[in-house]
Each structure stands twice: as structure tokens, then as C-alpha cells.
Amino acid sequence: MSADDAVVNSLQASLKINPVICKILVQRGIDSFEKARNFFRPELSQLHSPWLMKDMEKAVDRVTKAIDQQEKILVFGDYDVDGTTSVACMFQFLQKIHSPLDFYIPHRYKEGYGVSKAGIDFAKENGFTLIISLDCGIKSVDLIRYAARLGIDFVVCDHHLPDDELPPAVAILNPKQKDCPYPYKELCGCGVGFKLITALAERLAMPADTPYEYLDLLATAIAADIVPMTGENRILAFHGLIKANKQPNFGIRALTKLSGLEKELQITNLVFMIAPRVNAAGRMDDATKAVRMFIARSETEAMEYAEMLHHDNTDRKEADSSITSEALAMIMENSDWKDRKSTVVYQPHWHKGVVGIVASRIIEHFYRPTVVLTQSGDYVAGSARSVPGFNLYEAIHACREHLLGYGGHFAAAGMTMEKDQVDLFREKFEAVVAASIPPSLLIPEIIIDSVISFKDIANSFYNILCQMEPFGPEIPALYSWPKR
């Protein structure tokens, strides 16, 4: 990584700290005294007003109308960390002021990702007239139209990139909409929900610190959803970590106890403790219990659910490590497979919930684009993972003659095919990857920020590096450093 020497020198002149640290800061875009102050001392007072977000007024009007008229509100979110934490925050907040209230998490395998027809039908059968969708909804044009026909309104809180056609919701909160003036675009789903909570608390004249009760869950969502650790995300994650250590949500406290983490939580511990367990619930069983854990009203109640999550995670780990060893053995046994540019492995009995994780594990051993397949009903389904820099989606697309369906993006994808296509797909995928991947991408890369000498790391060097927490995308480094 490079950094302009003049900028580094001037930053060093104003901060009067170690030049190597100044260089690391400048590499991350922190190139002035002002930016450095905001970076090291993020203040909640610097958060943007929620009212800057397009449709916030409409969203708050609709939710407060539902509260006034005692309408039944359904809080709907996804089965991942961002989804379950958003639902937990919104549900707990509304519970303070409104009781005809429930939440809904779609089942990963029965309903899939995002707003589901089953969820809308559940709302209809149970007399809900307003659904607040969190971390999903922006692409659910047909389903939200279907709900409207049934007399169910939607307020969408999402952060995924909108398509040209928007769903017919009463209000759409999503800073990534082209005409949304909200200044920070990188919020996660839980962050968008937090903005709605902030605006509602303001409208309802609740104490100004009410939304801060949810900062620890929000910090978890920010880190787990891999959004940039910049701007508002950094402020929210910074203060969320303080809350997670001082006065955590009962669910977080229960998981901390079960995981035996006694030291101060850093953002990475928080995520590595919570994310696999919440995701395991969705993969192995049902993520509803993750929400139940986060909204528990006592530590004892939270512990019941934490133990279930812990158990799912133990199952997940066992599945994950046994399937990984089987897959690695298969590669080693096929002398022709070892030296390929790609990996495609298939076993009908592998657990569908972990094939993506297994693909990532295999890449740790055979560093190249990898597909792991298992049987799903009458078909074969699987997940693919790439190595940085290689467009996996394009490669899968090029093999579409062998596929029934596929989807995904640059780094990860999923696909289904007929059983008799597995071998053909393996050969085609290898041919496509071998023809298009530059050899340099097949070698893992380590980014070196700066070469330092022993005298550089004297005094407060390490302490200042630690103060750069929380780390994350765009504020990389130190993931592998020993924790205090």
C-alpha cells in the first residue's frame, strides 16, 4: 500500500504520533487532524439526522398511525445476523409502546431469503395490517403488491441495491436509492432499522437515548454483514462495543458466558461468538430462536435459547469438519484433481447448511475457485466460493448449459443441476476457470501496510493500534493480532 509522504508528514506534524501509525492512517483515508479526531473519538452526536432519509416522514406517519389505531404490526426480517438483530431491535423498541405485535423470520430452506409468501399469508391469517421488513423487501415487488391486495401495508427498511422497479410499499427506507439524500450510504439493514427507531423515538417524545439500548446488537450486525467500518458504521460499532462490554443485551451476555470469553470483547470476538451461532440456527434448524434470545427479558430466559444456538453450532461444526475432511480426501484420491485450477466436489449425503462454509475451508487447502455440491430433493444443489479478484458469477454463468438455476455475485454463488450433470459441470467449470484465471490470482496475497523496525514499535505503538478498533472493511488490519 502506498501513502503520499507529504500528507503523512503533515498528519504527523499535527498529531505528533509515530510516523508509521500516521502512514497506516493515511492509507485508510484518515489524512487530516479533524478526520483523525473523529476516527479515534467517534461521538454519537455526529450521527446524521434520520429525517434526512427519503420516506422517513412517511414511514413514521404509517407506524404511528398503526400505534394510535392499535393495528397488529408484524416485524419481518431475515435469518442471518443482520436480519435477526434488526428484528430484535425493532420488536423490543415497539414493545415499549405497542402490544399487538409479533415478528416473523422466514425458514432458510422452506421459504428462502427475503420477504416470503408464507410470511404474508401468516400476516393475513392473523389479522396483521402492517409489516415492517428489515434487511429485505427492496426487491420484493410482486410479494409486496400481493400483500397490498390483501390489505397489508409494508414499510421497507433495506440496504440492498434497489432494482429499477421499486416495490409498492407505503415507505421505502434505503439510502442506496438514487434519490435518497441520506449522506451515508453504507448502513446495514439493522442500521436502517435503527434510523427508523431514532425517528420514531423523536416523534413519540421518548428519551433521546432510547435507541442506544440497541447499539450492541447493531454493532454485531455491522460487523457480521461486512459493511465498511467507516462513517456512521464506525461510530455505531464503537459505542455498541462499549455497550456490549458494560451492559450487554441478555442474549449477548448468555452467549459470552457459554463461549467462556472472559476478556473485554473486541469487535472480532463479538462477531466470532455471535455470527456462527446465529447462522447455525438458520442453517441447521430455525433462526427464530436467535431473535427469541435477543429479545429475552432475563438472562435465564436468554440462556435457554443461547444453549440451543450453541448446540446447533456444535452440530454445524461437526458437519463442517467431517465434510471438509471427506472432500479433501476426495481431491487427494483423484490424482487428476489435485493440480487443477478449480475444485468441484459432490456427495449426496452432505448437509446442505454447510456446503458454503466447506467451500471456504477447502480453499484454505487448495487455493482456487471451489464448488461444493450435495443432493437436494431430486436435484443437486451447492455453493461456490471464489478467490479474491476472480469473477465467480461469470464463470458459473459460462457453465449454464449444465445448470437448472444459479445466482450470486463476484465472490460467492449458488446453483442447482440434474444429478447426471455433475461430472460434465466439473469439467466445464475447470475449462472455464483454467482459460480465464490469471496465475497470480492462484497465489494467496498478504497486504503489507508498512515495514517497521524494532525502534518503531517502542512506547505507545501497540496501544495506538488497538485504539483503531473497531476494524472491518476499509479499516483493515490487525485481524490476526493478539488481543489485549
Interacting residue ranges for Mn ion, rule: CB under 5 A? 82, 135, 188-189, 225
Q: Give a three-class secondary structure readout of 146-165.
A: HHHHCCCEEEEECCCCCCCC
Residue closest to Mn ion, measured at CB: 82
Measured from the CB atom, is 42 or 191 closer to Mn ion? 191
Q: Closest approach of Cβ 133 to Mn ion, in Å?
A: 12
How far apart are alpha carbons 213 and 478 in whole angstroms?
29
Burial annotation 412-450 (CB, 10 A radius, 16+ → b, else e): ebbbbbeeebbeebbebbbebbeeebeeebbeeeeeeee
For residues 228 and 446, give the distance between their C-alpha atoms in angstroms, rounded to a whole number: 20
3-state secondary structure at position 345:
strand
Alpha helices in 41-133 (DSSP H): 56-68, 81-95, 117-125
Sign of CA dihedral 295, 299, 305, 308: positive
* C-alpha cell read off for 220: 454485531
Looking only at Cα atoms, what is the longest distance across the chain?
A: 70
Nearer to Mn ion, 189 or 211 (CB): 189
Residue 31 or 225 having the CB closest to Mn ion: 225
| Shorter beta-carbon distance to Mn ion: residue 218 or 241 | 218
Least separation in angstroms between residue 215's CB and Mn ion is 17
**Residue 225 vs 430, nearer CB to Mn ion:** 225
Return the SS3 of 201.
Answer: helix
Minimum distance, C-beta of residue 134 to Mn ion, in the bound complex (Å): 9
Residue (86 or 383) nearer to Mn ion, CB: 86
Q: How far is the CB of 225 from Mn ion (least distance, A)?
A: 4
Q: Least distance from C-beta 227 to Mn ion, angstroms?
A: 8
CB 193 within 8 A of CB 89: yes
Q: How far is the CB of 391 from Mn ion (least distance, A)?
A: 22
- CA-CA distances (angstroms) from residue 79 to 129, 226, 285? 22, 16, 11
Query: Among 329, 221, 216, 324, which Cα is nearest to 275's?
Result: 221
- For residues 82 and 216, which CB has a smaller minimum distance to Mn ion in the complex? 82
Task: Provide the pairing of β-strand 379-385 with 412-417.
Answer: antiparallel
CB of 382 to Mn ion, least distance (A): 23
Distance CA 313, CA 303 (A): 15
In 260-412, alpha helices (H):
267-284, 288-294, 299-333, 335-338, 355-365, 392-397
Output the smallest distance, CB 135 to Mn ion, in A. Answer: 4
* Closer CB to Mn ion, 135 or 312, in the complex: 135
CB of 193: closest distance to Mn ion in angstroms? 10
Nearer to Mn ion, 137 or 189 (CB): 189
